[in-house]
Amino acid sequence: MRNMEIKCRIEVECGSRREAEILNRTLRVDNEGYISSSVAGKVLVAEVEENNAMSLLHTINDFLSCLQLAVEGMKRLKGI
């Protein structure tokens, strides 16, 4: 049986390109080696590949948890 490869792409629309870039730089430190990310306009794009569904789920969960913290931090800095 061949190894299964599962891919997931997450797109997060931000308020501006600058916000997307800030989030990307903030998250990149924790994501290195697990998720590739980039910015397209004001959208943060994250892509992950795993050969196991549970590994994919854990990686996505970790990314979303870190994203939530980064967004909350950015809101506090902006006074929202």
Residue 80 lies inside a defined structural domain of this protein: no
Residue 38 lies inside a defined structural domain of this protein: yes
pLDDT one-digit tens code per residue, 30-48: 888 889 999 999 999 999 9
The model carries a pTM of 0.86
Residue 15 lies inside a defined structural domain of this protein: yes
Residue 1 lies inside a defined structural domain of this protein: no
Looking at residue 3, its pLDDT comes to 76
Please compute the mean of the pLDDT values over residues 3-19 and round it to a whole number. 93
How buried is residue 71: exposed, middle or buried, by Cβ count under 10 Å (0-12/13-18/19+)?
middle
**Domain assignment of residue 17, given as a range:** 6-75
Instruction: Decide: helix, strand or coil at residue 13.
Output: strand
Instruction: Provide the domain count of the chain.
Output: 1
Please compute the mean of the pLDDT values over residues 16-43 and round it to a whole number. 92
Residue 42 lies inside a defined structural domain of this protein: yes
Residue 69 is inside which H or E element, if any?
helix 53-78
Which among 45, 67, 42, 49 has a CA at the least distance from the CA of 6?
49
- CATH at 45: 3.30.310.50
Give the number of other CB atoms < 10 A from CB of residue 13.
10
Residue 33 lies inside a defined structural domain of this protein: yes
